[in-house]
Amino acid sequence: MSDDAGDISRAELAEYCRTQAAILAGHLDQRSAELSDLLAEIEQDTADARASLTGGPERPDASAEATVADIEAKQEQAQAKQAELDEYRTLAEGYTDLAEQLAGGSGDLETVLEFEIDTDAPTYFDTETTILGAATGEDGDG
């Protein structure tokens, strides 16, 4: 580790990690709301499809098949959003754990960099800069 990285204290690194966790929590809130909206759409589409099938012909028509396909596509989107939420949650928990470790007197800048490399942290942030992003010149676009 070179001396040009500056003298960043463990307390400053811990605060940085808490800030990153808070930013991720904001992303989680936003994405959770999007997932809730999508699940509500799926529920409504399913209810509409059931209603049309119970009151309609014995054989489903093309529009009913299209509705089923649309519901299935939305279910796949919901699963992808849930997986993304899980990734964000895991990263936020990792930053929180790292902040506690740093506040407890262990770890350093290299520990934070290794964490961000291992988790590919910069990709989870929109415009915010990670320490890894600053060190490599690559910010998140997430």
The pLDDT, as a whole number, for residue 137 is 79
Convert the pLDDT of each residue in 60-80 to its tens digit: 566 778 888 999 999 999 999
Residue 1 pLDDT more than 80?
A: no
The pLDDT, as a whole number, for residue 5 is 47
Enumerate the domain spans of the chain: 11-53+62-127
Residue 141 pLDDT more than 60?
A: no
The pLDDT, as a whole number, for residue 3 is 40
Residue 110 pLDDT more than 60?
A: yes
For 79-88, the CB contacts below 8 A with 24+ separation are 81/31, 81/34, 81/35, 81/38, 82/35, 84/31, 85/28, 85/31, 85/32, 85/35, 87/124, 88/24, 88/27, 88/28, 88/31, 88/124
Q: What does the mean pLDDT of the chain come to?
A: 87
